[in-house]
Amino acid sequence: MNISMKLRFWILVSIVAISGFSQGMLLPLIAIIFEQDGVSSSMNGFHATGLYLGILIASPLMEAPLRRFGYKPIILIGGFTVAISLALFPLWKSFWFWFLLRLAIGVGDHMLHFATQTWITSFSPKDRLGRNISLYGLFFGLGFAAGPLMTGLVKINTTLPFILSSAISLAAWLTVWLLKNERPEHDTDSSSFFGTMKRFGKVFKYAWVAFLPPFGYGFLEASLNGNFPVYAMRSGIGVDAVALLLPAFAIGGILSQLPLGILSDKLGRRNVLIVVTLSGFVSFTAAGLLENSTTGLLICFFLAGTLVGSTFSLGISYMADLLPKQLLPAGNLMCGIFFSFGSISGPFIGGLAIQWLKGISFFYVISTMLLLIFIALVAVRHESSSHQANTI
């Protein structure tokens, strides 16, 4: 990579880290504020889906503006939307006003992620794609892990975390102005909504198996953060243990992100995904068997994070391997859509399991999902994008 390419790459991953930071802060911060205000747990959970609903609503409408205006304007609009929405939270403390702001942050974040992801996958050479996307995932993970630290500021002033995170987002947003705009590779289909739908069909046909890891990661992350604390309380696992276990999973994912990305460049994305999903299945099955031991759970959570914490970034790299460059914008959108499906369905399915499957560990829900993804990866063998480019 030349100097300007390196600068562009590091600005893009820094922007993603700030996005992760704002998301990681909002989830526990709003949950704590609503809990203190006596908002029911179900309504609190519904509020958290606002972000993912924003992603789903915006996804089909995003490809046409990207093709028309290029990457930079989409990142600038998305980043500005997030920064302004964060600054508006202290303006009026209302359940539905905050839900709309969360929805706006979902749309802004997705604009930002979609444009940065597509830009990175388009300019990264094949032998460094896994490394670059894993750094993208690593920076998002670091930001997401740092976000909850802001919740302590609520004790000083409720508005402080929102104002501070808005200022940080705005500072990162200013660096995007340094970049030179580019556009994605031209596609023969129209850039309209219907053109996007047509491309979605092609993308799904050739790369559907690559969307299962982002779905699985969304399912896993949202159900661990949303359901596990409830399950822990009902199973006699202490609050202190929960405060230890969830960061253990996040730390495992951060530590292994780059090594697994580099390994996938050497051994192939599919091979690494097959190993990590099977190992993740084993880790969560073991967690179900060892749930009476905090030490046993800590080891299982750390190992599971190390193994499956990279499934989102590996899924993006695998998708980029399977598709020709002109379909990368639609492919990156579908990674976001499947991640959102997983994030919304995970807490819902996990909640049903906790309510109805008495005597069966919640961890088996996650291990079953990972086993199904493993089976799909083993069963399906796709051609590379170079072969498909001739048929598209």
Distance CA 316, CA 269 (A): 10
As a whole number, mean pLDDT of residues 220-237 equals 78
SS3 letters across 186-224: CCCCCCCHHHHHHHHHHHHHHHHHHHHHHHHHHHHHHHH
As a whole number, mean pLDDT of residues 101-116 equals 90
The residue with greater pLDDT, 172 or 144, is: 172
As a whole number, mean pLDDT of residues 92-109 equals 91
As a whole number, mean pLDDT of residues 193-215 equals 85
Query: Residue 392 has what pLDDT?
Result: 44
Distance CA 335, CA 317 (A): 10
Tokens representing residue 228 in the block: 């596990």
Q: How confident is the model at residue 188 (pLDDT cuts 50, 70, 90)?
A: low
Tokens representing residue 314 in the block: 């590996």
Express each pLDDT in 67-96 by its tens digit.
889 999 999 999 999 999 999 999 988 889
For the chain, percent of residues with pLDDT exceeding 70: 93
Query: Residue 390 has what pLDDT?
Result: 41
Q: How confident is the model at residue 388 (pLDDT cuts 50, 70, 90)?
A: very low
As a whole number, mean pLDDT of residues 196-207 equals 83
Q: Is the pLDDT of residue 1 over 60?
A: no
Query: Residue 306 has what pLDDT?
Result: 93
The number of helix segments (H) and strand segments (E) in the chain equals 18, 0
Q: Is the pLDDT of residue 150 over 70?
A: yes
Distance CA 137, CA 312 (A): 8
Query: Residue 387 has what pLDDT?
Result: 43
What's the whole-model pTM score?
A: 0.82
Q: Are 107 and 57 in contact (CB under 8 A)?
A: yes
Query: Residue 389 has what pLDDT?
Result: 43
Of 177, 176, 144, which is closest to residue 17 (Cα–Cα)?
144
Distance CA 154, CA 162 (A): 10
Distance CA 280, CA 367 (A): 7
SS3 268: coil
Query: Residue 193 has what pLDDT?
Result: 64
Q: Are 47 and 98 in contact (CB under 8 A)?
A: yes
